[in-house]
Structure formats: structure tokens, C-alpha cells
Amino acid sequence: MTTMSPTAPPTPRAPAAPPGRGGKVLRRTPQAWLFLAPFALIYLAFMVGPMIWMFVASFFNTSTVRSGLGSFAGFDNYLEMFARDDFWSSLWHTLQFTLYTVPPLVVLSFVLAVLTNRMSRGQWFFRLAFFLPFILPSATISLIWVFIFTPANGLWSLPATLLGMDPGAGILSDPSTAMIGIAIATVWWTIGFNFVLYLAGLQEIPRELYEAAAVDGASPWQQIRRVTIPLLSRTTGLVILLQIIASLKIFDQVYLMTSGGPGIATQVSLGLITNTAFTDNRVGAASAASVLLFLIILVIALLQQVVSRIGSKREEAS
């Protein structure tokens, strides 16, 4: 840094704040690395390390019963996954779950947030009702919903019989409805996340915009359509991508509510991965499936980063 200005009067020591870029930021490489070290070591050991190991093991016949990587398998694990029906069906179930949960989670949370924001009183009550489930353990929500879905005489059967539906074997025991049951429980559980994101977005909208719209004679519905929805488009983009990523990683509710059943009707990708690794002891094959899921999620996460950066750039510019 000091070499940059040979003609200037000699600066006494490095820490003495070089003028210009960086202001009073100090160049102190060894100390900085000391501050970084604890986090960096654990990050390397439990994030980067396992990731590399996962990629390597996906090319070997690794198992949990023998130590080491096992014999080299080339692309066999990947080819096996592509040939397996249950791999594709687990991907399909994951997609199915995404399709069932993302639209209600986005639309309903938006509606609830807009309406809550309009309320002059009792906001704490709505926050409690919609947000509290989000911080509960998946075990709690699963036990509650499995009980609600008890066949024949559970809480769910009361309105179902009233509406003339046959309670039948129960929503979770029927292969064609089990995923819907999981989706209902999930929407109830996680809507609070989107709800508070939207509420935060709503509070950024200047009041003057609504007042101007009201002066122009816009009805409440027109205000929502012309002011609220366009101004929250960045939040909506973010919410949709975060929701898709979260649904691709679904495991807890399925494991706890149906264990992937009936049959494999609700088996999702992470369920298939853990079964392959811990029940079949085939770590190599499970690693290949992990890599594939990893890549799918990474693509969507990259998209999310792009959307969020473009959004903040635009905000800075305006």
C-alpha cells in the first residue's frame, strides 16, 4: 500500500490509515486470519469436506459396512439411479409436493399479510396465529396432524362427513391423497415464514402511494392491484424461490407422517437417499443421488441469488 505513492511524504506505519479507498480499514492479514480461523476450520471440516467426499464417493462402491471408499465404480452409481424407477418416482413426489405447497403458501400468505397490515388493532393476534406454528418442531406438527387425520373418527373426519365426503381409510393411508395430507400440514406449519416476509415488505411501501391512489379514486382492491402487488414483486420472486428450495429438501414431515408410504407413494428424494445409505448400506449410490439433488437445488439457489442481487441493485439505483 505504501509503495503506491512514492512521491508522497513517507507514511509512518502501515496501520496509519491510507487515504482514499477503504478509509480507515486496516490491512492486517495475519490477525484477520486469526479472527476467521475458528469459523473457517469448522466450515472446512463440516461443509466443504463432506461435499468433496460426497462427490468422490459417488464414483465408488462405498458402503457403511466396510471402511474406506470401496472399489471404483465410474459412473455406475449415476447410471443405476437414472435406471431406477423409485429414483424417478421420488423426484416426482418431491415435485408433486412442491406443486401442492408453493401456490397456497405464496398466495395465501400474501393475502393474509395484506389484510393483517390493514388492521388497525390486534396485529399481535394474527402474528401469533399465523407465525407461531413456523417455529414449532416438525415432530410436534407431524404428531398433531397425524392425529387430526386419524381414519374414521379424527378431527378431519368431522367436516369431511358434514360435507358428504367418505372419510374412508384416512387421507394419509390412501396413496392418492397421502401427499395432499402432508401438503396441508406443511402449509399450516410454514406459512408464517412467507407471512412475515410479506409484512416486512408491506411496511417498506410509503403511505403516500396509497394516499395518492385514494385521491385518484382508487378502491381498496385497485390499490392492492396497482400499488401493493407491483411493489412487492421482488418479495414474491424471493418467496417463490425460497419455497421451491425448501420443498426440494423436504424430509421431516414425510418421514414422520407416512415414512414414505403407503408403499412408496410419498417417498421423496431425501428419503430415498437416507434409505439407500442407512438401510441398504449403499453409500456410493446414495452419494450419487445426493449429488443429483444437490445440483438441482444449486441451480435454483443460483437463480435466487441473481434475483435478489438484481432486486437490491435496482433498489440502490432508485
Partner 1 sequence: MATIQTSPRRRTGVSGAAPARRMKASGPTFTRVTGIFLIVVAILWLIPSLFAIKTSLTDNGVAALGAQEILTDVSPTLESYIGLLQQGDIWNWYLSSFLTSIVTAVLTLLFASMAAFALSRLEFRGRAAVYLLIIIGLMIPTQVLIVPLFQELRVLQLLNTYWAVILPQIPSVIAVFIFKQFFDGIPKELEDAARVDGAGLWRIYWGVIMPLSRPVTAAVAILTFVWTWNNLLLPLFVLSNPNLMTIPVGLATVQGSFGLRYADIQAGAILAALPLVVLYMFFQRQIVEGVTGSGLKG
Q: Angle at CA 37, nearest 5°, toward 34 and 38?
A: 120
Taking contact as CB under 8 A, which single stretch among the options 28-36, 70-78, 96-104, 260-268 is the one that binds partner 1?
28-36
Q: Is 25 in the site for partner 1 (CB under 8 A)?
A: yes
Q: Is 197 in the site for partner 1 (CB under 8 A)?
A: yes
* Shortest reach from residue 137's CB to partner 1, in Å: 4
**Residue 156 is inside which H or E element, if any?**
none
Please state, in angstroms and rounded to a whole number, the distance separating the CA atoms of residues 110 and 187.
13
Site string (235-264) toward partner 1, x via CB under 8 A: x--xx--x--x--xx-xx--xx--------
Are 106 and 229 a contacting pair, CB within 8 Å?
Answer: no
Instruction: Between 6 and 121, name the residue whose CB sits nearer to partner 1.
Output: 121
C-alpha cell at 43: 466450515
User: Judged by CB under 8 A, which of 223, 247, 258, 267 binds partner 1?
Assistant: 223
Q: Is 130 in the site for partner 1 (CB under 8 A)?
A: yes
User: Judged by CB under 8 A, which of 19, 220, 230, 263 binds partner 1?
Assistant: 220
60 bridge partner residues: 72
Instruction: Between 91 and 238, name the residue whose CB sits nearer to partner 1.
Output: 238
Please state, in angstroms and rounded to a whole number, the distance separating the CA atoms of residues 237 and 211.
26
Q: Is 126 in the site for partner 1 (CB under 8 A)?
A: yes
Interface with partner 1 (CB under 8 A), residue total 112
In the window 174-193, what residues touch partner 1 (CB under 8 A)? Answer: 188, 193
Q: Is 293 in the site for partner 1 (CB under 8 A)?
A: yes
User: Judged by CB under 8 A, which of 79, 99, 107, 155 binds partner 1?
Assistant: 155
C-alpha cell at 192: 408464517
How many CB atoms are located within 10 Å of the residue 202 CB? 18
Burial of 194 (0-12, 13-18, 19+ CB in 10 A): buried
SS3 at position 72: strand
Please state, in angstroms and rounded to a whole number, the distance separating the CA atoms of residues 161 and 300.
41
Q: Is 119 in the site for partner 1 (CB under 8 A)?
A: yes
Q: Is 281 in the site for partner 1 (CB under 8 A)?
A: no
Q: Angle at CA 257, nearest 5°, toward 197 and 173?
A: 125
In the window 87-116, what residues touch partner 1 (CB under 8 A)? Answer: 112, 115-116
Q: Is 209 in the site for partner 1 (CB under 8 A)?
A: no
How many CB atoms are located within 10 Å of the residue 147 CB? 11
How many CB atoms are located within 10 Å of the residue 234 CB? 17
Taking contact as CB under 8 A, which single stretch among the options 75-83, 85-93, 145-153, 175-183 is the one that binds partner 1?
145-153
Q: Is 286 in the site for partner 1 (CB under 8 A)?
A: yes
In the window 49-78, what residues touch partner 1 (CB under 8 A)? Answer: 49-51, 53-54, 57, 62, 64, 67
User: Judged by CB under 8 A, which of 66, 118, 225, 314 binds partner 1?
Assistant: 118
Taking each helix axis from N to C terminus, what angle separates 233-248 and 178-204, rounded to the nearest 10 degrees?
150
